[in-house]
Amino acid sequence: QRKNPFSSDDRLAAKPAHTHRGDPAYGRPPEGSRTEQRGKDAHSHVGKEVEELCLIIRRTGEVGEDGHVSVTFGQLFETYVTISNKVVGILLRARKHGLVHFEGEMLWQGKDDDVVITLL
């Protein structure tokens, strides 16, 4: 469409033709675009869900000898699933940010109910 002489879409003309892997804008939406704003909003929303998950772990878990609060996945799932059905995804994000620890790559309801999740 960028080369189409009959196209009057100004948004296409404003976009850079090509970005390269080393370019800081590579893989990112244009600055100030609605796409960039949606991404920022989604990041903020997920951050709030991670905070809420940590509060629930603190509230429902038990303090261990090391001073960390721990809860089993089964207990956390039963508590948190009434708030959000994305409990596993939020747990993975919290682990990525170093807020919680648990064994294994993925947690499955029923199978991993006894896995201990520790709030760091």
Q: Please report, for the chain, the start and end positions of each structural domain, with discontinuous segments joined by +.
A: 34-119
35, 25 Cβ separation under 8 angstroms? no
pLDDT of residue 38: 94
pLDDT of residue 9: 61
Coil/strand/helix, residue 102: coil
Over the chain (120 residues), what is each successive 10-residue block's mean pLDDT? 63 60 83 90 93 93 92 90 81 94 91 94
pLDDT of residue 18: 67
C-alpha dihedral, 60 to 66 to 72 to 76, nearest 10°: 30
pLDDT of residue 62: 93
pLDDT of residue 17: 58
Q: What is the pTM of this model?
A: 0.70
Q: Considering the domain 34-119 in this protein, what is its CATH number?
A: 1.10.10.1540
pLDDT of residue 80: 81
Distance CA 47, CA 93 (A): 9
**With left for phi above 0 and alpha for psi between -120 and 50, is residue 23 left, alpha or beta?**
beta
